[in-house]
Amino acid sequence: MAIDALQPMYQDSQFITESLVRGIDFTNILTPTGDSLSGTPTVTASVLYGTDTSPQTILNGNPVISSSKTQVLQRVSGGVGGTTYLLTMTCPTAQGNTLTAQVFFEIKSTL
């Protein structure tokens, strides 16, 4: 999903038992200037709605830059059912810029 505006983007929910890769595609910002992601991305997790005293525990492993150098990717699993999480992804670029974008999604309990 490419970002078009600097506001959090909704992503589909996932079940508490699933382990999925979440990401932000910065192509729309990078392409006009010929820039690319580089360096070490960071991802933080917080609670938008609901209750989870340790939201960072949904992040599995370190975030990575895609092979196209246009996306920040982070594996997510677990969490608290009924909670909506906000991921803030930040990454430096080859031209010395720093980009930040956010996505939010709900973790659902199993049926």
| Alpha-carbon dihedral sign for residues 96, 97, 103, 107 | positive
Count CA atoms closer than 13 A to 37's CA, side-chain side.
Answer: 25
Q: How confident is the model at residue 6 (pLDDT cuts 50, 70, 90)?
A: low
Whole-prediction pTM value? 0.91
**Is domain 9-108 in CATH 2.60.40.1220, yes or no?**
yes
Q: How confident is the model at residue 51 (pLDDT cuts 50, 70, 90)?
A: very high
Greatest CA separation found in the chain?
Answer: 47
Given a cut of 50, whether residue 5 has pLDDT beyond it is no
How many residues does the structure list for the chain? 111
